[in-house]
Structure 1
């Protein structure tokens, strides 16, 4: 940890931790213990390792050049891309809901079509029977 503190400029440490220059000098001399929160922030700043601040679930995730690097992906994500992913997730959820609704309507329409086809077959048979009956009557009385 001492190497980490010594490797970072005092002004940068002040900017990162918000501590005074006097406190930072004491940290560097070893006369004052560095708080765990400051150590984690400095590790994140120096190494870019997200586990330093966020825990073991973030192992392999790193921050560098204002980008978040994910272990499964080659290049980093900017804050705008991460924000866009949130909106895309919302859009996907909305579209999935719309797809479910459209599938339901399609199934209802298919059921109606099947019912109409059954009625059409019935009326077709009725017309055939009535026309045969009419032909029989015509032959009988002619």
Structure 2
């Protein structure tokens, strides 16, 4: 939970996500709570709620400025946020979606805490990995 890779993943899973817990579920365990949103986003919401705690307050501190919701044509979702750092006037863009749609927009990849150039060899390894996982019936997001 303290690694730069997990922090980046958690930030994206928390902010680039439209799922919300339905009201009136105080005292219900997180994994049993009902969620409005699709199954993938609900799973990410529950995972981040367990890992980080109050996802809603994280979202409030990183106000969404605009968003392109996921759709079957684009196969990705992107949102832009103000950051919680009052001394940082920059905005944060977060994106998730079909691995091939995300990969085609990347020039670097984050591996073992280091940003590396995304060369053709690395792209091929990435493609092989997500195709193998998808072939096993796993849900794969980029």
When normalised by structure 1's length, the TM-score is: 0.18
Structure 1 or 2: more helix by fraction: 1
Structure 1 or 2: more strand by fraction: 2
Larger radius of gyration: 1
Q: Report which structure shows greater RCO (CA 8 Å, sep ≥6).
A: 2
When normalised by structure 2's length, the TM-score is: 0.18
